[in-house]
Amino acid sequence: MSWTAAQQRPGGAATAPPILEMRGIAKRFGATQALDDVSLTLRAGEIHALLGENGAGKSTLIKIMTGVYQPDRGEILLSGQPIAIGSAAEAQRHGIAAIYQEPLLFPDLNVAENIFVSHQNRGVVTNWRKMFREAEAILATLGVTLDVRSPARGLTLAAQQSVEIAKAISLNVRVLIMDEPTASLSAHEVGQLFRLVRDLRDQGVAILFVSHRMEEVFQIADSVTVFRDGRLISTRPAAEVSPQSAIADMVGREMGLFQRRAPAPKGEKLLSVQGLGRTGVFSDVSFDLHRGEVLGFAGLIGAGRTDIGLALFGIEPATAGQIVLNGKTETIRSPRQAMSLGVAYVSEDRRQLGLSLPMSISANISLPVLSRYLTRLGLIRTSQERDTAEGFRKRLSIRTPNVELPVAKLSGGNQQKVMLSKWLNTHPALLILDEPTRGIDVGAKAEVHAMIGELAAEGIGIILISSDLPEVLAMSDRVLVMREGRQMAILDGGAATSQTVMTAAMGQEFAA
């Protein structure tokens, strides 16, 4: 079936009969009770938000719904009929599709093949022209322009997520599960996605929407369910829920969405960038950063924010302009050189660029400065590694039974803390944080924010790159706004508001 035909179905309403019901679901992994008597009902024509901290059981339930896990107890009903979902392929045959937080693409297949990979049949000749045309049509509905004939390898996170979304809507979905689908999208792209989601809802699709971004949840959701510690805490119409009450259900206590960082006196000038550029990517970027200051980078995806960070860390060196660090002009050509100058970069992609998931927490933390832990014979002083990791475990409240646990076993928020520990272990003067709270829960986010404040108070200069505008506004002393590789504004203190930042990001220039 073509993707266009798959979308032609009668509309549904929030009061329609359930499409998918999860009743009394329980799942245990060893000593951990991941789900305990959890129930969830998804109805045709309804967007149902699922909230909870990392470890609350959301991902486990999603994996049961998609056939990755089977429940220990409970039952699953599809349109009122009991079913068993034994595999992801079986879930798709039932019309259940999922978009996960981390894109899972085949890097050597082209974009169109990734979109339609679940449609391929052995022995059937592929109509490439038709597949390319329909792939382009799906992406066009998302407002995304990609070369559908090019390999998926090298796509940005935003582009990867767009391909995942396109892949899901190419299926004849009855239930669409969206697990952090906007984590790497700009505000403009989120708006486009939400228009599409509402269209799918109006066509009768039941949508489960999982997000840590409260403003998005209350913008899109018809109903809200909260999990905590593997248990169902509440299910209510969205109109009856506030962000504060949802957070209280999630964490068991009241917590503000964003605590604005208290301003602190700036130290001496640490970094001065003049006319920085990289051919074809960004140009003419100029700013200063003082010790103890947090400079936020805002702008739409593709604006060039991350590219500036990559240039300052030497991953993709600048081709124009001047970098003055600690009063000395530097030409940064490699991460090793950047690290020797006291620069650290926490990547937005912790799985691909930030951490070695099979390795232990302690090994990850020591990795950038491994020579510190070597004996004269080149052996690793494992006890010294563990002592360092233990210090960071306590300092950043990394939740783990021990520091020898593989990083892959940790929740997203704790993985993020390990990555931050890894770079703090280099004792940086300049810390570049690229999407430091992407895809982590509200509790872990608050802890990372508190750590940013502490690091600034210690005199570290921080560049905070984030697509979460409230986060940028809450944490930054000043905000630099980018658009399509150009610097649009640097806004001080009270001048940085949602309206002024977004106006600049959308093309209205401000005086720096």
For the chain, give every domain's residue range. 3-251, 269-505
Question: Is pLDDT at 477 greater than 80 in this prediction?
Answer: yes
Per residue in 221-238, pLDDT tens?
999 999 988 999 999 999
Confidence of residue 360 (pLDDT cuts 50, 70, 90): very high
Per residue in 170-182, pLDDT tens?
887 899 999 888 7
- CATH code reported for the domain at 269-505: 3.40.50.300
Give the angle 173-66-111 at the CA atoms, nearest 5°: 60
pLDDT score, position 510: 44
Question: Is pLDDT at 400 greater than 60 in this prediction?
Answer: yes
Q: Which amino acid is at 127?
A: N
Confidence of residue 250 (pLDDT cuts 50, 70, 90): confident
Confidence of residue 3 (pLDDT cuts 50, 70, 90): very low
Lowest mean pLDDT, pick from 87-96, 164-173, 174-183: 164-173
Q: Which amino acid is at 39?
A: S
Averaged pLDDT for residues 305-329? 95
pLDDT score, position 166: 84
Question: Is pLDDT at 7 greater than 60 in this prediction?
Answer: no
The total of other beta-carbon atoms located within 10 Å of residue 346's CB is 23
Give the angle 85-180-171 at the CA atoms, nearest 5°: 45
Q: Whole-number mean pLDDT of the chain?
A: 86
pLDDT score, position 509: 47
pLDDT score, position 362: 93
Tokens encoding 127: 């109509």
Residue with tokens 């998609």: 66
Q: Which amino acid is at 64?
A: I
Confidence of residue 256 (pLDDT cuts 50, 70, 90): low
pLDDT score, position 155: 85
Lowest mean pLDDT, pick from 26-35, 167-176, 251-260, 284-293: 251-260
Question: Is pLDDT at 337 greater than 90 in this prediction?
Answer: yes
460 or 55, which is more confident? 460
503 or 282, which is more confident? 282
pLDDT score, position 496: 87
Are 3-251 and 269-505 the same fold in CATH?
A: yes
Strand partners, 18: 43
CATH of 3-251, one of 3.10.580.10, 3.40.1010.10, 3.40.50.300, 3.40.190.10: 3.40.50.300
Half-sphere exposure in the Cβ direction for 126 (13 Å, CA)? 14
> Alpha-carbon distance 68 to 87, whole Å?
6
pLDDT score, position 123: 54
CA 512 to each of CA 285, 287, 312, 437, 478: distance values in angstroms, whole numbers, following the listed order: 11, 9, 21, 27, 11
15 or 220, which is more confident? 220
Asked if 27 contacts 72 with a C-beta cutoff of 8 angstroms, the reply is yes
